[in-house]
Chain A
Amino acid sequence: MTIQHNKVLQKPETFYDTFVRKGDSELKATHYCPGCGHGILHKLIAEAISDFGIQDKTVLVSPVGCSVFAYYYFDTGNIQSAHGRAPAVGTGYKRANPDSILISYQGDGDLAAIGANEIIQAANRGEAMTVFFINNAIYGMTGGQMAPTTLVGQKTTTTPYGRNSHNEGFPIRMSEIIATLEAPVYVERCMLTDAKNIAKTRKAVRKALKAQIDHKGFSFVEVLSGCPTGWKMTPQEAKNWIDSVLSKYFLPGVFKDVIEERESIVIKQEIPSPEDYHKLMDISHLSEKEDIVPTPEKGNFYEELKIAGFGGQGLLSLGYVIANVAMGHQYEVSWLPSYGPEMRGGTANCSVKISNKRIGAPLVANPTTLIVMNKPSLEKFENDVVSGGTIIYDSGLIDTPPSRDDVRVIGLPATEMADKLGSTKAANMIIMGIFAYLKKQIFSDRYIRWVLPRILKNKAFHEINQKAFQTGFDYADKHV
């Protein structure tokens, strides 16, 4: 006997097989209340993702609200963003990965209240993403408070006598607002009630995703959904309430559909080539180019620097120079400054990472090399240095040397030495000379000398920077 069924409707493959959120008690069920609309919309989205074959390139941004745990269900890429920020986070992701499919899944508290600006700006820019806006006219997860979409007269825990328009204003119709903008290509409102409307929603979900797959631009689907728990109704009553009350204010329908008229826009990613970089650094027309520009080094190299001191000591610049020098040697680098609002005075530090592999996060927690130019910074970062690492400090400004005995400690009165050269501002370049000496196997000092004026472009300092670098290099040669 052969199997006679010709089509099976079952859990889409885009869902995980088991949902770890619920723990061992039930690994197959969601955390949503009985009759919740989230599950239905999840299923429609998951089915569309599976049918379009885009699971491997889809990233879903989950909001704050009950659906925050969408990443436990969708076997796609997932990002959890701060409240209301999904379109902003999504913009960053999509711009960096134009071939991906970006879905922003947001509730009415998330999208229409705290995230109202993000969604309008993203829609206005026509970001190539699909937004599913699930509107249940209430803050469901936090216990049924009034949302921007709560109907006038609707009782919630924060409007126990019903929403009063004189006091709390009127419900916001987001679809209508989005549809007035020029950039969006598709805006529809549908509802999760009976089979007919769920089928309409299914069609809208697929159309919105298809628009993104075809690179048409911003698509927005608002879905009126029941919150039986928040509304204090049975799932059937909730369904009927959407039908008879909610959908009379939030009218379902297509508010904008220009998918056909719009052309596909594929943003080409501009990646600078090494030649571009050399051009930028003014290297191209140098006769000794071949000689000066280092050839890429093979093998592992990893260095994490924390450079700290007072603002104005040139420490951010020092980090910037080190990062640029490493970049010139074809390493991956990151430079992350951290400073107060004042330009001089106060404390400042920067994190520099250098690696032959791609760098994930730019923050340095445990430096391999610590450069400190004042006492508070030494006290703050000394214990963070990895065992076997290096601490370089200004012994003229810091009277108590580092107490660690498992790291290499180099102290020199850099600021005093720079003062003798003519400017205390060159102290950072003396330290640069020390660092260059320590890493002379990795970085060509000839290249550093040559590239310095091309990084620190102020002509008034070209000469003293070179002198200070040489002083630091010679000092290290003698004393280290």
Chain B
Amino acid sequence: MSISKGHVIIRASECKGCQLCIEACPDHVLKLAEKLNHMGYKPATYTGEGCTGCGICYYTCPEPGAITVFKGWNTWPENAMCPVCKKETKVYHGKNGKDVVLCTECLNPIS
């Protein structure tokens, strides 16, 4: 496991699954999601660890707001706002027993 020096959020609802970011990511920490989004594409998603915050995926992505990259980030502060939606985040208990922090608006995993 590599140390996360950055963090990436991909809004599934804006992603068209072109996979340019997945191919461009030098650390191979992006993958296609299993679930289709509302446009019928399998969106790219962050595997959850290893992001260095280099921003290559951000510049490779053709959608203006689909990818947000946090440089120099490693842990998510408690009760922080979603950086994309500026809405509150909430802790959800995942099926696998792990807790995930999701944005109440876009339901993107924050950590």
A→B interface (CB under 8 Å): 1-12, 15, 25-26, 28-30, 32-40, 42-44, 46, 73, 194-195, 198-199, 202, 228, 235-236, 239
Contact = CB atoms under 8 A, between A and B. Distances in A.
A29 B19 contact: no
A450 to B, nearest CB: 62
Given A5-B7, A6-B72, A36 B62 contact: yes
B14 A5 contact: no
A348 to B, nearest CB: 51
B108 to A, nearest CB: 12
A7 B64 contact: no
Contact of B24 (A32, A33, A194): A194
B64 A44 contact: no
Given A28-B13, A34-B17, A6 B63 contact: no
Interface string B53-97: 101101111111111111111110110100110000000000000
Given A34-B18, A35-B20, A40-B61, 7 more contacts: A1-B75, A28-B66, A32-B62, A34-B17, A35-B19, A235-B18, A239-B20
B28 interface: no
Nearest to B16: A34
B23 interface: yes
Contacts of A198: 59-60
Given A3-B77, A26-B39, A43-B64, A8 B71 contact: yes
B13 A199 contact: no
B65 to A, nearest CB: 4
B61 A39 contact: yes
Contacts of A199: 59
A2 B77 contact: yes
Contacts of A44: 59
Interface string B11-40: 101101111100110100000000000110
The SS class assigned to the B binding surface is loop
Nearest to A18: B65
14 contacts: A4-B74, A6-B71, A6-B72, A7-B53, A7-B71, A9-B58, A10-B65, A25-B38, A26-B39, A29-B63, A34-B18, A36-B62, A43-B59, A236-B19
A29 B39 contact: yes
Contacts of A37: 62
B46 interface: no
Most buried by A among B60, B75, B80: B60
Given A8-B68, A9-B71, A40 B60 contact: yes
Contact of B64 (A26, A46, A194): A46
A199 B26 CA distance: 15
Nearest to A38: B62
A200 to B, nearest CB: 11
B81 to A, nearest CB: 10
A39 B63 contact: yes
B59 A4 contact: no
Contacts of A29: 13-14, 16, 39, 63, 66
A12 B53 CA distance: 17
A9 B83 CA distance: 11
Contacts of A30: 62-64
A39 B68 contact: no
Given A12-B64, A30-B64, A43-B59, A4 B75 contact: yes
A3 B23 CA distance: 30
B75 to A, nearest CB: 7
Contacts of B80: 3
Nearest to A73: B64
Q: Which of A1, A9, A11 has the most CB of B within 10 A?
A: A9
Contacts of B75: 1, 4
A104 to B, nearest CB: 20
A30 B63 CA distance: 7
Contacts of A9: 55, 58-59, 67-71
Contacts of B70: 5, 7-9
A49 to B, nearest CB: 13
B62 A40 contact: yes
Contacts of B7: 5
Nearest to A74: B64
Given A11-B68, A26-B39, A202 B59 contact: yes
B68 A235 contact: no
B84 A10 contact: yes
A199 B69 CA distance: 16
A44 B55 CA distance: 13
Contacts of A8: 68-71, 83
A36 B53 CA distance: 24
Nearest to B69: A9
Contacts of A42: 64
Given A7-B72, A9-B55, A28 B77 contact: no
A194 B19 CA distance: 13
A221 B61 CA distance: 20
The 7 closest A-B pairs by CB, nearest first: A39-B62, A11-B65, A35-B18, A5-B73, A34-B16, A34-B18, A5-B70
Contacts of B65: 10-11, 15, 28
Given A26-B38, A34-B17, A34-B41, A236 B59 contact: no
Which of B63, B70, B77, B78 has the most A CB atoms < 10 Å from its CB?
B63
Most buried by A among B17, B55, B64, B75: B64
Nearest to B11: A28
